[in-house]
Amino acid sequence: MLRIFNKKFLPAVLCGVAVFFAVAAAAVAKVEGLRGEVFSDPAWKQKMPEEWIKQPVQHPKEAGKADLFIVMDQDIYHTLLPLIQKFGKEHNIKIVVKEGTCGIAAGLLAAKGVDMGGFCCAPGKEDRLPGLKFHTMGIVSKAFLINPENPVDNLSTAQLREIYRGKIFKWSEIKIPPAKKGPDLAIKTIGRLHCPKRPGHWRQLLDNEKMFSPRLNEVGSIPDMIAQVAASRDAIGWEVMTMVEKYKGMGKVKALKIDGYSPTDSTALATLRYPFYRTYTLSTWEGKGIENQHAQELVEYMKKEFDKLDADKFGFVSVRRLKEAGWKFRGDELVGEPK
């Protein structure tokens, strides 16, 4: 064995090792190329006019005389609203919470019409307005859903990407242990390509909409997604488990295990063995004239309360657990995955 390390063979061995690492790096790069950004650069700031920077936060009429006006994406709204209401009751303040999307939250923040914004995605570059500070509440696993009649119950991350890229065309190309195949049906891929400029979410699967198969069926809303998966034996879609629970009236769906891990397994998510998730983020204003003390208190309160949620029911991982698992933070904001 030691002969291969003599002078004659050493260059060849080194070349072989180099080739191996090059191929491995190319493979990793290929995977990395498929997976989009998970977080945007926290140091980046959106350029805004001077008069905008000086502009104070002014609530629109619909907020009435609220001590705190918050607009939130529908996902985070559903999860955090009870906690916000509890906070308002405990602190005896009037909080008006408006339900919308990440875009609406970003629009109202850009118009300085709201004290806090709530996002189901990590903030994009365009969301990073001057004076705006982001606070991560935690992450929640994004489940891939299929019809309950479909016998497949586990997919690898690679298989999932191949399905959405249209490389795997039929369920029967998926092997179900022991030695069975999925049904002989063409896979109906369903996607909701929301927030394409923000990192994370569906971009963890494929970076941009052009990577998706032309056969992708796009739906505009969460209930449409769940209804279509529940109605089609050949369908596959995605959504967080809280929304699956909320819209269970739309029909029954089944959450797939990915690489052998269930989306409700919060430990697998914290260690990234389950690789798909959404980032729940709140934003507050920082600076003279735009800061709201209640908003700061609410953020601290929410971080503690989020840690008390039933982690293994919906696949929540709180900030505390993320930090324990080695996720990177800058201030309150989650900015990187563990190595």
Partner 1 sequence: MNPIHYLLKVRGRISITPKMFMATVAMGIVIWGIQDYVVTNRLREISDTKLREILSQEMQEDRIRFENYLGSYHRKAELLISDRRLIDYVLNRLPARPTGIKHYSESPPWLPEPSVMREIIHIDCAVLLDGKGKVREVYQKWQEPILRSLVEPSDRVIKSSLDQSFLTYLDGVPVLLTSVSIRNSEGGTAATVVFAALMNDDFLISTGGLTEPGKIIGLVTAEKRQKVIASNRPDLISDGIPLDIVEKDYVGTGKPFFDWGTSEVTLQFTSFMPKSEFANLNRSILNTERRQRLVISLVFILSFLAIMVWMTRRIRSLTDHVIRVSDDTLETRFPHLRKGDEFNVLMQEFQHFTSEIVSSREVLEKRVEERTEKLALANRDLQVEIDERKKIENALDENKRLLETVIDKAPVCIKLVSKDGLLIKMNRAGLDMLGAESFEDLAGKSIYPVVSAAYRPAFEKLTQEVFAGTPGTLEFEITGLKGKRRWLHTYAVPLYGDEGRIDALLGTTLDITDRKRAEEALHLTKFSVDHASIGSHLLDRNGRFLYVNDQMCRSLGYTREELLAMSIPDVDPDFPAEVWQESWEELRRRGLLNFETRHRRKDGSTFPVEISANYVEFSGKEYNWAFAQDISKRKAAEEELKQSHDLTRTIMDNMKDAISLIDVRNHTIAGANRMFVEQFGDEAEIMGKPCYAVTHGRDDACCPPDDVCPLAETVRTGNHSSAEHIHLGKGGKKMYVEVSTSPIRDASGTVTHVVHVARDITERKLAEEQITDLNRLLVHKVDELAFFNKELESFSYSVSHDLRAPLRIINSFSQIVAEDQATVLSGESRKLVDSIRNQTERMDELIKALLSLSQVGRQEIHFARLDMEMTAREIFNDLKQMHPERTIQLTVRHVPTARGDAMLIRQVLSNLIENAIKFTSNREKAQIEFEGRIEGNEAVYSIKDNGVGFDMQYAEKLFAPFQRLTSRKEFQGTGLGLSIVQRIIQRHRGRIWAESEPGNGATFWFALPLSDPSPGRGTRA
Please identify which residue in 9, 24, 46, 167 interacts with partner 1, judged by CB under 8 A: 46
CB of 64 to partner 1, least distance (A): 8
Site for partner 1 in 222-251 (CB under 8 A): 222, 224
- The secondary element (H helix, E strand) that includes residue 254 is strand 254-255
Spell out a b/e string for 113-132, using b for 16 or more CB atoms within 10 Å of the CB, else e. bbbbbbbbbbbbeebbbebb
* 338 φ/ψ angles, rounded to the nearest 5 degrees: -70, 155
Burial degree of 297 (CB within 10 A; 0-12, 13-18, 19+): middle
Q: Nearest-CA neighbor of 154 among 243, 271, 255, 242? A: 255
CB-nearer residue toward partner 1: 238 or 327: 238
Among 59, 107, 176, 233, binds partner 1 (CB under 8 A): 107
* Separation of alpha carbons 230 and 313, rounded Å: 21
Instruction: With beta carbons less than 8 A apart as the criterion, state whether 106 and 198 touch.
Output: no
Instruction: Choose the binding region for partner 1 from 94-102, 149-157, 162-170, 318-326 (rule: CB under 8 A).
Output: 94-102
The yes or no reply on residue 194 touching partner 1 (CB under 8 A) is yes
The contact pattern for partner 1, residues 141-180, with x = CB under 8 A and - = no contact, is ----------------------------------------
**Which lies closer to partner 1 via its Cβ, residue 110 or residue 185?**
110
Q: Which stretch binds partner 1 (CB under 8 A): 220-228, 272-280, 312-320, 329-337?
A: 220-228
> C-beta of 171: minimal distance to partner 1 in Å?
26
**Given candidates 195, 236, 253, 302, which one binds partner 1 under the rule CB under 8 A?**
195
Residue with tokens 């491995």: 24
Between residues 56 and 196, which has the closer beta carbon with respect to partner 1?
196
Beta bridge partners of 336: 328
Selected range binding partner 1 among 18-26, 31-39, 174-182, 217-225, rule: CB under 8 A: 217-225
CA distance 110 to 182: 48
Considering beta carbons, is residue 32 or 126 the nearer one to partner 1?
Answer: 126
Q: Which of 35, 55, 67, 103 binds partner 1 (CB under 8 A)?
A: 103
Closer CB to partner 1, 73 or 265, in the complex: 73
- Check if the beta carbon of residue 114 is closer than 8 Å to that of residue 59: yes
Residue 218 CB, nearest approach to partner 1 (Å)? 7
CA distances to 45, 141, 174, 255 from 85, rounded to whole Å, are 32, 24, 46, 30
Stretch that binds partner 1, among 108-116, 145-153, 158-166, 174-182 (CB under 8 A): 108-116
Burial of 52 by CB count in 10 Å (0-12 exposed, 13-18 middle, 19+ buried)? middle
In the set 122, 206, 219, 243, which binds partner 1 (CB under 8 A)?
219
Among residues 11 and 49, whose Cβ is nearest to partner 1? Answer: 49
**What single string gives the DSSP state of each residue in 100-144?**
E-HHHHHHHHHTT--SEEEESS---GGG--TTEEEEEEEEEEEEE
Say how many C-beta atoms besides its own lie within 10 A of residue 80's C-beta.
Answer: 23
The distance of closest approach from Cβ of residue 127 to partner 1 in the complex, given in angstroms and rounded to an integer, is 9
Backbone angles phi, psi at 187, to 5 degrees: -80, 125
* Number of residues near partner 1 (by CB under 8 A): 38
Q: Which of 68, 72, 97, 121 binds partner 1 (CB under 8 A)?
A: 121
The single-letter code of the amino acid at 78 is H
Site string for partner 1, 58-87 (x = CB under 8 A): --xxx----------xx-------------
Which residues here bind partner 1, judged by CB under 8 A? Answer: 46-49, 60-62, 73-74, 98-104, 106-108, 110-111, 121, 125-126, 129, 192-198, 218-222, 224
